[in-house]
Chain A
Amino acid sequence: MENSQPAPLALDPDHFNVDFTAESDLEALPPEEPGLAPKEWMQKNLFSSVGSTILTIIFSIFALWALRGLFGFMFSGERRWDAVATNARLIAVERYPLDQFNRIWFSLGSLLAMAGLSMAFFRASGYFTLKRIAMWLMNLGVLGLLGVILTPGAKTEVPPVVEGELPTFIQDSFGEAIGGRIVWILVSLVTLGIGLALWYGLGEDRRRTMRIASRWVIAAGFGLAVLSLWVVPYGRYFLENGVATSEPGLVAASTRIPWTIMWATFVGALLLGLALRDRIPARPPKMILGLLWLLAPFILNWIVLRDPDFDYDHVFSTDIPMALAFMLVGGALLYWLSNAGIGEKGKIVSIILLAFALFNWVAGFFGIYPMLQKARLSFLFLGLFALIAGNFSRDVRTRMNYVYAWMGSMAIFHWLVTAVNSPSTLDITSDTYLGGMTLTIFVAWLTLLVSFPLGVLFALARTSDMPIFRLLSTTYIEAVRGVPLITILFFFSVIIPLFLPEGMELAEVAAVVVGYGLFSAAYLAENVRGGLQSIRRGQFEAADALGLTSGQRTSFIVLPQALRVSIPPLVGQSIATFKETSLLAIIGLNDLLRVANNTIPSQTDFVGSKKEGLLVVSAIYFGVSFAMSKYSQRLEKRLGLGTR
């Protein structure tokens, strides 16, 4: 129901509302209490009673002490932030080969382009009122000033530089390193000033009603960060003959051009999407984008980043003919099955197909007759496609669309499986081309993709009226939720090889993703179950009375409503999954956390500098989780309004 009502403000000509308005938010602005004078505000919020005054004093002292500790920690001469700066690439992509870096940029660019287009087409953008922005700026300014005042003084003793030993770069307080604290005071004052100017310059009404869509805030923030690569003298760190060396001056000459292109890609996609979205029908681009988000992790991971070395003889002699055979013969079969007059004959054929597909697995396991795994999977898909053929027995166009869908999915499936089975051209050991941030992101993403359908399936089984399904699903969910994730990951990385038939191998990352997926499916199932239980009995009855089959009832009536209700908990679960990827570090995969906790401190140049890396990793995790949870809160509000 999201676009059914225009935003109330957009219609009101009295309000200043350039194109920055976010269309998706329906919240009417509540009347606000008139602003209090500072003195009254303090009386009300800080010193309303003796108890409150004491609390204010205690907590202020505590907060200032904590801030001083944090600043002191961050800007202490002992901190080796250069450990992080030097290893920025390690944190991001671990040891992905430098000469293949265009693949990383291409992947990142595709993701940013998809993100930009999605923001436009799905109208998934909130807004920031200028009031909030002003408040932020003022807070930042005050925080900066506090930092300048609170940070402990510079270390006066500079350890002598010994010939042949590693020089320490940032031995001074942060102030001396950048030309004295005066710079920071100025920056803070300017920020504070802009905030104050916005606040008082606009006046009560306008600062509440003028607002900027968050996509532009994101684009601007991203832009500023990229711009700083060109302007700010970060200093540049690199390793030379095993010794870390610093060079003042412009930073990261190797990344500023790519990053600028990345920014341009994002903004370009955003603008393109905004320009197109009202001129073309809404559904196709949304569907294409959804499909891309589903396929992207597979394509980017196994084809772009891994760069499979296709064996073209084999491809032309076996893979392509096989794919074509499945596409054409399967397509013809499906076209015949979706014939309106086929009746029960169709059902029998599809069940035979399914049975045959399952038999292939059994036969394969017992070694009766060998067959490529790909063919077995294709037969299974064919059986499943055949089962739903009856739904498309309408006009020729519907039937052809159904056949095209089959052909498309077969083509992509065979392409991907062939790619996965081909060795990688990268000259690093087969499995570890992912690392750092890339590993974290891909594992989280694949886990969500694996666990979502499974979770929905388990939820449906647990709420079904079939006792055996209920029993199996409940047992599974409760057993998995009863044990810690780490034991399941151990289990999968250690035991899975024992369970596999002779000759079949599973990369460790894949085993871990399966473990993660099965684990988080149990939690997802509980979230979806909540949604399923919120659907009223009458919806089921109405669907039954109309003669929908139980499959149609589930997919058209029950699930759309249940999933809508469970979106906020599902986002919460996604955040949890993202945070839980940190456990990869324990089982020895080089994810973001392990790079910071193990790899960097073990370098001879940065022995023991763990805290810096861990703080940066904390900041990364915090940023992503916090943004997602804020988005989820907004979504919850919006859905609450939408459903009534």
Chain B
Amino acid sequence: MSTIGAAGVELGRPDMIVSDGVDKWYGDFQALKGVSATIAEREVVVVLGPSGSGKSTWIRCINRLEVHQGGSISVDGIELTNDTRNIDKIRSEVGMVFQQFNLFPHLTVMDNITLAPRWVRKQPKADAENRAMELLERVGIPEQAAKFPGQLSGGQQQRVAIARSLAMEPRVMLFDEPTSALDPEMISEVLDVMKDLARGGMTMMVVTHEMGFAREVADRIVFMESGEIVEVGTPEHFFTNPTEDRTKLFLSQIL
């Protein structure tokens, strides 16, 4: 059992995500073993760990793409339960970016971005499209609005995916290995957008293998292994002076 302390107390900001003793099984394999953490508003947390350590499962539980079986998760004071109203609220407050982009291939970039604002937020079409153009400019590809995802490069697709999530004006953004499926030369364009977002004060949870990004942007780093949080700390603490042996081993393999 492991816990990150109440970040809100230290930072003087309210808590955004509270994960309390979250358990998750796949058949008889326990993927999450009582994961507890609290993430404050405007905090950027990078989750590191070897593959199969449960980090993706964890952030997918926060968006209820996976249903946790023990413990509790709440986002912005709303607990994730079977209550449809809470699920809808949390989904519209939490944006998610996937490893495989998961853009809708049959819709144009513009339609990809405006779909949810129009049908979930019930925004008029013109407003949604104006907002979408702003977001596309922010991620640097306003000229691609009329194209289909299949006509874009991987980096561009991932930036569209980020814009698509931002269009719902979420209070939290979750990134599930956003650069793992990209060619090396495209990684930086996506990371730049994410850094920009972090500077803007977005609460972010990022699962990634990009150590440079973690060191530069993260407020805190969470290291997970076999379904447990092993160590938590600032980037400085984490990269220069880790306390746990398992963390040291991981860092020696990866750096």
Contact = CB atoms under 8 A, between A and B. Distances in A.
Interface stretch (B39-47, B117-125, B228-236, B244-252): B117-125
A546 B120 contact: yes
B104 A545 contact: no
A1 interface: yes
Given A1-B150, A4-B147, A539-B104, A545 B95 contact: yes
Contacts of B115: 546, 548, 556
A548 B98 contact: no
B26 to A, nearest CB: 15
B86 to A, nearest CB: 12
A44 to B, nearest CB: 40
Given A545-B95, A546-B168, A560-B106, A538 B100 contact: yes
Nearest to B66: A541
Given A538-B98, A547-B91, A556 B119 contact: yes
Nearest to A543: B104
A643 interface: yes
Interface in B123-168: 123-124, 147-148, 150-151, 161, 164-165, 168
Contacts of B92: 547
Interface in A297-352: 340
Nearest to B85: A344
A76 interface: no
A395 B124 contact: yes
A4 B148 contact: yes
A548 B116 contact: yes
Interface residues of B, number: 32
Contacts of A394: 118, 122-124
Of A393, A539, A547, A564, the most chain B CB neighbours within 10 A belong to A547
B91 A546 contact: yes
B18 interface: no
A48 interface: no
Interface in A514-563: 536, 538-539, 541-549, 552, 556-557, 560-561
A556 B103 CA distance: 13
B65 interface: yes
Interface in B46-68: 63-65
A542 B88 contact: no
Given A1-B148, A538-B98, A541-B65, A546 B164 contact: yes
- What DSSP secondary structure best describes chain A's contact surface? helix
A340 B102 contact: no
Contact of A552 (B64, B100, B119, B124): B119
A373 interface: no
A547 B98 contact: no
Given A394-B122, A547-B116, A552-B119, A539 B102 contact: yes
Nearest to B63: A545
A4 B146 CA distance: 9
Given A539-B104, A542-B104, A644-B150, A548 B122 contact: no
Contacts of B148: 1, 4
The 5 nearest A-B residue pairs measured at CB: A542-B102, A538-B102, A545-B96, A547-B91, A546-B116
29 contacts: A4-B147, A391-B119, A393-B122, A394-B123, A394-B124, A536-B100, A538-B98, A538-B100, A542-B102, A542-B161, A544-B63, A544-B64, A544-B91, A545-B65, A545-B98, A545-B165, A546-B116, A546-B164, A546-B165, A546-B168, A547-B116, A548-B116, A548-B119, A548-B120, A549-B120, A552-B120, A556-B104, A556-B119, A561-B106
Interface of B: 63-65, 88, 91-92, 94-96, 98, 100, 102-106, 115-116, 118-120, 122-124, 147-148, 150-151, 161, 164-165, 168
Interface of A: 1, 4, 340, 391, 393-395, 398, 536, 538-539, 541-549, 552, 556-557, 560-561, 564, 643-644
Given A545-B63, A545-B94, A564-B106, 9 more contacts: A1-B106, A538-B102, A541-B65, A541-B98, A542-B98, A545-B91, A546-B120, A549-B88, A556-B119
